[in-house]
Amino acid sequence: MPKNERTNSAYEKAPPGLIAGCPKCEDGMLRRIATRSGGSFFGCNNYDKGCHFTIPAVIAGKTLNLRSIRELCSHGSTSLLIGFHSKTGQLFNSRLRLDEALRVVFDFAGISRQGNTVLSGGRIRAQNSEAKHG
Ligand SMILES: [Zn+2]
């Protein structure tokens, strides 16, 4: 049922549903953008200024909730998410994180792997190899 009918002009002037700060340009905000095929994704509202950061709304058959989107943007990773579907139809659980290129990748660190399907281009890295500095 529609809960946000545009019945008054104040609604038109209100900012659209902004979900989280953009981790790429650190200036824009992410909002949900509908696609013509009926799906949606989250994109930076600084697109016109050259920031093309996006997060898919659905990853491996799982619809991300807004909390996960916010975690990803503010912390660079999510808590454990349940119910992804691999290409072979298997269910698996994983965290998501942003890699150094700010792409969304699976993060299986500390999780027993059930299947090794990752997003195209996704790479799983050991996390304990960072050199200390200071
Ligand atoms: Zn941005």
**Cα(50) to centroid(ligand 1), Å:** 8
pTM, entire model: 0.70
How many beta carbons lie within 10 A of that of residue 42, not counting itself?
22
pLDDT of residue 23 exceeding 60: yes
Q: Which residue has the higher pLDDT, 125 or 30?
A: 30
Contact between 33 and 42 under an 8 Å Cβ cutoff? The reply is yes
**Cα(97) to centroid(ligand 1), Å:** 17
Cα 24-72-113 angle, rounded to 5 deg: 125
Residue type (1 letter), 103:
R
Lowest mean pLDDT across 14-23, 48-57, 93-102: 14-23
**Cα(69) to centroid(ligand 1), Å:** 14
Span 13-19, mean pLDDT? 67
Place of tokens 């916010």: 70
**Cα(116) to centroid(ligand 1), Å:** 30
How would you class 106 by CB atoms within 10 Å of its CB: exposed for 0-12, middle for 13-18, buried for 19 or more?
A: buried
**Cα(3) to centroid(ligand 1), Å:** 28
Place of tokens 């509908």: 34
**Cα(21) to centroid(ligand 1), Å:** 8
